[in-house]
Amino acid sequence: MGSIENDKIKEFGNPSAYRENRLYHLFAEHGQEDLYYRMVFYGLSGDELINVPLSDKYRALLSKVVKHQQKRVENISRFIGSMKVPGLWLDLGCGLGQFMNQVIKLERNDVIGSDVSVNSLRKARSLLNHFGVRDIKLINQDPIKLPFRDNVFKYILSADVFEHVGYDKQKMIASEIHRILRKGGQAIIHTPNLNRVIITTVLKKVYYLFKGINPFIIKHSFPIGHNSLTTARKLTRICNSVGFKTESYYQIDWTFYDRSKWILLGLDHLLSRSFILVLTKE
């Protein structure tokens, strides 16, 4: 690695985060930012759609990023689809709207998207419009104080929010989710697994050491901005403390070995890339 690339990797904390950021900017520099989002977050595929000069290395990275994001969307969408009784949804931290799109596909369900980022909401509207969704309800709001009355939503989805908000705000957000859910309503919480991050960070440092590369350019193995990563056990305690009944599910993505073996060995909580909590307001 060159010294300039090493400096950039140190800035982002790990090589993967730096290269994925660089991949995005290659699209943005050629005016293809929306195409990047459609491919990565909405599953649009096909090399003929890429009007961006990518090296073989970055084409391979794009394929990897798309595969990972689509696996994430599929995993969360299974939980969305398992909520059989139609009702009003809130996508809390809706980002680019890809999960709103999944809810809209369900019969007799309605959804409101909320995000702290005005820019993300603009992009979500543009992307959803591209896929034929016109009547979109989006609000710009901090998740700590939501502008909804008590007991209004049947379902709430919060995908990859809790790792960004800070540890001091996690309980406040869980309490707000509890307040605005109807009795018997359910919330789906998805967030990366801190246990896996710790293990992969150590392994990457060891790998770099054996490759003769300075291991200290690896600060962590998660994307920049993930400042409040947690475990299912810790987040379950928080959610239970505000009145929820909580069930946890792990996403095992080590496909070289039967998932059931990891569960039987009791390693699923360590090796899962992320976890999902399903919260029920009793």
Q: Which residues of the chain fall below pLDDT 50?
A: 1-2, 4, 254-257
Instruction: Identify whether 62 is part of a domain.
Output: no
Instruction: Identify whether 32 is part of a domain.
Output: no
Q: How many domains does the chain have?
A: 1
**DSSP string across 82-151:** T--S--EEEEET-TTSHHHHHHHTSTT-EEEEEES-HHHHHHHHHHHHHTT----EEEE--TTS-S--TT
Instruction: Identify whether 210 is part of a domain.
Output: yes
Residue 280 bridge partners (DSSP): 186, 245
Instruction: Identify whether 246 is part of a domain.
Output: yes
pLDDT at 256: 39
pLDDT at 79: 93
- The CATH number that applies at residue 179 is 3.40.50.150
Instruction: Identify whether 110 is part of a domain.
Output: yes
- Decide: 103 and 80 in contact? Cβ < 8 Å: yes
Give the range of the structural domain holding residue 193, as residue numbers without chain letter.
70-281
Instruction: Identify whether 165 is part of a domain.
Output: yes
- Decide: 80 and 102 in contact? Cβ < 8 Å: yes
Instruction: Identify whether 24 is part of a domain.
Output: no
